Chains A and B, each alone.
Chain A
């Protein structure tokens, strides 16, 4: 069982996940994420604060989403992962492939810096 709450802005669309990403919920989550990306939501934050469990089929969705976003110059930031969830990403060798932010505010800040564009050349 997984609940997905969508929050628009500032600078990105946040999907806050609550529940479990397992063999019974991963496909629905994948459809939801890819629908957003295909609709042009290419600045994406996935808030994992209330994600209690993840298995390899759940990890796979993050990989699929990251690849899809990379193809359209989008950006994915994960935030607020609990230590046991972060550990599964770590074991899978996924930590280096994703940007992790400690909180949702920190994640959105990364997009606001981006939208201000490059600073003056020093």
Chain B
């Protein structure tokens, strides 16, 4: 399945619908669908927030394939070089008053996916993910 998302947060609804269709077509469990949706929302939102500096229309290309018991996902964009994985791990033990209200997204991606990889190829950022269908979250 291929989904081309415009650089617009309103596209998150369409992403969710497309993922539901993919999960339905392949009989994926709800937990897998939720993990895929969560990881993709975090990555796509990051790219929309930080990856595109100009105001021109840009797209984020998402593709999903089922490879045996692994769902493989690629997220590609032509924004400025941006490695979303290159972020500090949030302090998960900090008390409420010291918690920053952010920085969790990439931690969630790493936790719910089995594989996460970034590369810059030409003018494209490429994030590759894999999620084992029967395994739970790897956290």
Complex Cα spacing A70 to B108, Å: 26
**Cβ-closest chain A residue relative to B46:** A56
A10-32 interface code vs B (CB 8 A; 1 in, 0 out): 00000000001011100000000
Of the candidates A53, A59, A70, the one whose C-beta lies within 8 Å of that of B37 is A53
B12 contacts A64, C-beta separation under 8 Å: no
CB-CB under 8 A from A57, the residues of chain B are 45
B104 contacts A67, C-beta separation under 8 Å: no
Q: Does B133 reach chain A (CB closer than 8 Å)? A: no
A56 contacts B37, C-beta separation under 8 Å: no
Of the candidates A24, A53, A55, A97, the one whose C-beta lies within 8 Å of that of B108 is A55
B14-38 interface code vs A (CB 8 A; 1 in, 0 out): 0010000000000000110010011
Complex Cα spacing A88 to B34, Å: 10
Name B's interface SS.
helix
Of the candidates A24, A59, A70, A92, the one whose C-beta lies within 8 Å of that of B9 is A24
A92 contacts B107, C-beta separation under 8 Å: yes
Of the candidates B12, B97, B108, the one whose C-beta lies within 8 Å of that of A92 is B108
B96-139 interface code vs A (CB 8 A; 1 in, 0 out): 11010110110110011000000000000000000000000101
* Distance (whole angstroms) from the CB of B29 to the closest CB of chain A: 10
- Which residues in A have some Cβ–Cβ distance to B below 8 Å? 1, 20, 22-24, 53, 55-57, 59-60, 63-64, 66-67, 70, 84, 87-88, 90-93, 97
28 pairs, A vs B, C-beta closer than 8 Å: A22-B41, A23-B45, A24-B9, A24-B12, A53-B34, A53-B37, A53-B38, A55-B108, A56-B105, A57-B45, A59-B104, A60-B104, A63-B96, A63-B101, A67-B99, A70-B97, A84-B30, A87-B139, A88-B108, A91-B108, A91-B111, A91-B137, A91-B139, A92-B104, A93-B90, A93-B92, A97-B95, A97-B96
